Amino acid sequence: MTAADQTWKASGMLDGRVALVTGGRGGAGRAICERFVAEGAEVYAADLTGEGSIGSVGAPGTFLRLDVTSEDEVRSAMATVEAAHGKLDILVNAAGIEMELTIEETSLEQWNRIMAINVTGTFLPSKYALPLLRRSSHASIINFGSYDGFIADPKLAAYCATKGAVHALTKAMACDHGPEGIRVNAICPGYIDTPMLEQFLPEGVDSAAGRAEAEYVHPLRTIGTPTDMANLVNWLASDEARYATGQLWVLDGGLSAQIQQMRFP
């Protein structure tokens, strides 16, 4: 258990809400499902497989098989939720992949794949969730952007482009659907300790050297945890955030606030 895991105490703030979390068996998704369940929500963890990137043992929420790039599967997932509850209160678009490549190294097939999962995979669940969200008086969509949607990490060109698109889509959706009482926000994490980060850090997040180096570049001198992401997502899903919409909520331990010189030891 990390310090971040002790930051919250369930208070039933999502009692009676119905939530669907894409990428719900991944690092972020699983922590979000766990928090939502603890707060009293009925939760669908939608992912490619029950294993996702984390595995199914002790996994919170009801697993729903969903490929976010498939219009048919998205329609069918929303039909399942509608049949069981007649409404949806919270949609979290957390499914995503990254690729460490410059544009020259990126094939058209890879480009199309990352766009399909990260961008189309935000568009489709949002589009087909709208009719169900309109039946809620607490409707909230939370998208996953990234600090990489504002500033670039080397060799993440296509990934950065997808996150910039998610940021713009978030604002556009918030403007279009705010008048219907549907809030739309994006969280924009920096380095968070999930299987995706393990893939990104050259020496792996579990190697002492790789972790120490990654921690050092943050003003808070630490990497975030899935619980940190779930805390922010939970707040955005709740009535405490009733006046928050159309915003890009950066969660990066101060990483993007600093100038390069801070990184000199």
Ligand X SMILES: NC(=O)c1ccc[n+]([C@@H]2O[C@H](COP(=O)([O-])OP(=O)(O)OC[C@H]3O[C@@H](n4cnc5c(N)ncnc54)[C@H](O)[C@@H]3O)[C@@H](O)[C@H]2O)c1
Residues assigned a catalytic role: 159
Give the shortest CB-257-to-ligand X separation in angstroms: 16
Q: At which residue do the structure tokens 């048919």 appear?
A: 72
Closer by beta carbon to ligand X, 15 or else 72:
72
Instruction: Tell me how many degrees the CA angle 257-218-52 measures, rounded to the nearest 5.
Output: 105
User: 2 with 227: CB under 8 angstroms?
Assistant: yes
Closer by beta carbon to ligand X, 39 or else 67:
67
Give the shortest CB-220-to-ligand X separation in angstroms: 15
Give the shortest CB-29-to-ligand X separation in angstroms: 6
**CA-wise closest residue to 23 among 2, 51, 3:** 51
**Quick one: tokens of 232?**
């922010």
Give the shortest CB-205-to-ligand X separation in angstroms: 9
Binding site for ligand X (CB under 6 A): 22-23, 25-29, 47-48, 52-53, 66-69, 94-97, 117, 121, 144, 146, 189, 191-192, 194-197
Contacts for 186 with CB less than 8 Å, ≥ 6 apart = 142, 143, 144, 145, 166, 167, 170, 247, 248, 249
27 phi, psi to nearest 5 deg: -60, -55
Closer by beta carbon to ligand X, 11 or else 151:
151
188: left (phi over 0), alpha (psi -120 to 50) or beta: beta
End-to-end CA distance of the chain: 29
Closer by beta carbon to ligand X, 133 or else 160:
160
Convert 47-66 to b/e letters by CB count within 10 Å (16 or more is b): bbeeebbbeeeebbbbbbeb
Give the shortest CB-12-to-ligand X separation in angstroms: 26
Closer by beta carbon to ligand X, 40 or else 56:
56
Q: At which residue do the structure tokens 């296509």 appear?
A: 158
